[in-house]
Amino acid sequence: MTGPNYEARRNRLLRKLKDASVDGLLVTGSSNVRYLTGFSGSSGWLFLSSSTTVILSDTRYETQLADECPGLDAEIRDAASTLDDHAARLIAKAKVKRVGIEADYVTLSQHSSLAKKIVSAEIVATSGLIERLREVKDKWEIEQTREAVRIAERGFAVVRSSLRPNQTETEIRFLLEAAMRSFGSTGPAFEPIVGVGPTSALPHAHAGGRCVSESPVLLIDWGAEVKSHYRSDLTRVLITGKPTRLMEQVYNTVLKAQQAAIEAIRPGVKCADVDKIAREIIADAGFGKNFGHGLGHGFGLEIHESVRMSPLSEQVFEVGMLVTVEPGIYLPGKFGVRIEDDLLLTPDGNEVLSNVPREFEEAIVPFLA
């Protein structure tokens, strides 16, 4: 499959500038620059208007820019100038009257510096212009995500098959990361969350020194990043000993909530309505206060992107969106259960991209339990 059409993406963005009442945009968010140009360096801005499209960087990336952004005009600063200097000069040359900046990525000090140097145009704060374009993925992005899911699944299979009672959370994390790299990942999509017993009750726990044998509940939240920087995001709970009745109840409640939510997800449905379906199932089981985060989120170049499933969301599902579905129940000091899969919105509903077993009986690791 051919790669992304960056020019088409930039043209879509240009058509959106009128809605934001600007005639030029300075893009400073690194993932947004990557989405619009393919540039993967750590220092790069993009300025575009109806007459000008220029990427700005420094001498460290001159060769990389030529390789990753062929045909795109570039301005390279040296040690005696700043990106602010170049941006101000380009904006003046383009004769734009109102230039947008990405309010979600520009710090107060950066804004102050830009305001001093951009004297030829009014600076206008914008938010979400590119992120909204990124919500709907094209065929290439979806294929990259499928690969990230496949690699994550293979890495998890290695971990599951090699679990030992004396294995620590940190050892599992490092094994998982190494396994995913061996299958083609450039690294984990984020720091894997590995929690045994009480640690699993912390939604964003850091792997520590707890051993598998300390509790029957082992939660692993992980994902792979592929060379194109697209990612996957999955969570499973493994039962590594004799579970209590409460553990089984909590697990099956979370699974019921997830399955009901997945069945409800389709184009045109409100994200908040799906969140409500899962949240009510968990509340009806008596665990409403133990599910405090949103049901899911978009993902792609970043592990959390702008589609949100929560009671506050005003978004509606569209064909081509990629979202996670991850209800959870967390009992402080005891254990937590979260089950998470990656979904693609299709014209008829959705496709679950991940294929790791979810049923309670399938979560039991027989050689440990």
pLDDT tens profile 119-154 = 999 999 999 999 999 999 999 999 999 999 999 999
pLDDT of residue 367: 84
Q: What percent of the chain has pLDDT over 70?
A: 100
Question: For residues 65 and 57, is the Cβ–Cβ distance under 8 A?
Answer: yes
Rounded Cα gap, residues 134 and 157, in angstroms: 31
Report the pLDDT averaged over residues 20-27. Answer: 95
Full-model pTM: 0.96
Decide if pLDDT at 309 tops 90.
yes
pLDDT band at 1 (very low <50, low <70, confident <90, very high): low
Q: Which residue segments constitute the domains of the chain, with CATH numbers given?
A: 6-134 (3.40.350.10), 139-363 (3.90.230.10)
Q: Could you write out the DSSP letters of every residue in 83-146? A: HHHHHHHHHHHHT-SEEEEETTT--HHHHHHHHHH--SSEEEEE-SHHHHHHTB--HHHHHHHH
Decide if pLDDT at 50 tops 70.
yes
Render pLDDT for 78-102 as a digit per residue (tens, 0 to 9).
888 899 999 999 999 999 999 999 9
Render pLDDT for 157-166 as a digit per residue (tens, 0 to 9).
999 999 999 9
